[in-house]
Structure 1
Amino acid sequence: MWRDEFHPEYAETDEYRPVTSHFGRHWFSTWWRVEQDLNRELVKYMRGDKPVSASAKTREAIDAYLHTYYEDIRNFYLKNIYKIGL
């Protein structure tokens, strides 16, 4: 369905990756969690992630799909960075 709706206009180019369902999974995971501050468990539920046992010591699937950038933390970082006093 994604290819039918978004291609050829959003197909892969030399500059950009194609818009696919995989792209959508990354984009919406980030949008829900980072931009909308939605509870992590709710994002995982909407994505259909399998529940992870409490004893699991591996990264959860959602961790590979969240993307944050300097622009996301810039103001907080500049406001809260430790000042050395030099």
Structure 2
Amino acid sequence: MSHTPHELAEEFPEFVEKMHELKVSDAHFAKLADEYHELNRKVHRAETNVEPREELAEVDLRKRRAAVKDEVYAYLTK
């Protein structure tokens, strides 16, 4: 299995425990984390040409991933 960069635990190591707790106790956070995970996988597959995409589509995925990541971070720091 290949390593997919930019996993949430890797991005926010100081919040690993809090993320786990929120995934279990908060449906909205769990949905955000799942959305980030799916977008991150799509970006990784596009970047490694497993599932190539047009450049603009790949850029759009990265922007969406960044927006969700920002939302996750805001949730973790509130």
Q: TM-score if structure 1 supplies the norm length?
A: 0.25
More helix by share: 2
Higher relative contact order (Cα pairs below 8 Å, separated by 6+ residues): 2
Q: TM-score if structure 2 supplies the norm length?
A: 0.26
Q: Which has the larger radius of gyration?
A: 1
